[in-house]
Amino acid sequence: MKVTDNPSKLVPPQQVREWVEDRLRESIFNGQFKPGEWLRQLRVADQLGVSELPVREALKKLAAEGLVEYFPYRGMRVRVFSPDDVEDIYKIRSFLEGMAAHYAAEKITAEELVELKALVNQMEGRLALENLAEHRVLNRRFHEVIFTASRHTYLVHELRQLWTVFPSMLWGGFSVTATKRLQDTYDMGEHRGIIAALEEGNAAQAEMVVRHHIDGSGNRLLITVRNVTNSVPGKEDA
């Protein structure tokens, strides 16, 4: 991992730790650190040009978020998601985001609908695999606009936490091994169907189409995770 913007030694320790957290999180999301890969403090510190202390603290934070997992006497490694994990989390997403869409249909603003349409247009123009990272950001924002429009604070908080760890990380790590174009992973028309339901203020329809969309994505990812067994190295490294 090449780092060119490591913080100055004059930067307060908390800011250094936060910088390290951001770099590690980004490296996990973009696949530089693979599921099952061990994160050795000294090696990571050398790569980032910092001491081991902020790396240790950053890893604790990422463990609390669920991105890395701790093994006594062995250390930290990037979390490995099992098929059961995938199934459970997508079921949770389906239920919570469906609920959020139900509320959003009653409260979404004209400005938020305009943003959703713009996001779909941008996603439809970025279907090549080299656009995966950008497409992933746009997709996350699409879903975030919807659940934020629910105006239910705790629901929004829980969904943001769930999105911090899961869907982007796994789609980035697995889907590219199974598809040649992003359009193969799901029907872009589903996004437009969600917008239509929200625009009509049809709460029941909005909930149904969002749940259908998430269930479909989860099922496709679950099949891929079960098939791509070599995607998780889980090997000890020195």
* Model confidence pLDDT, tens digit, residues 155-206: 999 999 888 876 566 665 554 444 545 555 556 689 999 999 999 999 999 9
49-66 pLDDT, tens digit each: 999 999 999 999 999 888
Between 1.10.3720.10, 2.40.50.40, 1.20.1260.10, 1.20.120.530, what CATH number should domain 83-229 receive?
A: 1.20.120.530
In the chain, where are the structural domains located?
Answer: 13-80, 83-229
Q: Regarding predicted confidence, which is higher, 175 or 213? A: 213
| The pLDDT value given to residue 176 | 46
Which among 181, 193, 216, 225 is positioned nearest to 86, based on CA atoms?
Answer: 225
At 126, the pLDDT band (50, 70, 90 cuts) reads confident
Residue 228 reports pLDDT greater than 70: no
DSSP state of 149: T
43 CB neighbour count, 10 Å cutoff: 15
The two tokens of residue 36 are 């099952």
Encode pLDDT of 144-154 as tens digits. 999 999 999 99
**Residue 13 pLDDT > 90, yes or no?**
no
Angle at 177 between CA 81 and CA 80, to 5 degrees: 15
Q: Is the pLDDT of residue 238 over 70?
A: no
Topology adopted by domain 13-80: Arc Repressor Mutant, subunit A (1.10.10)
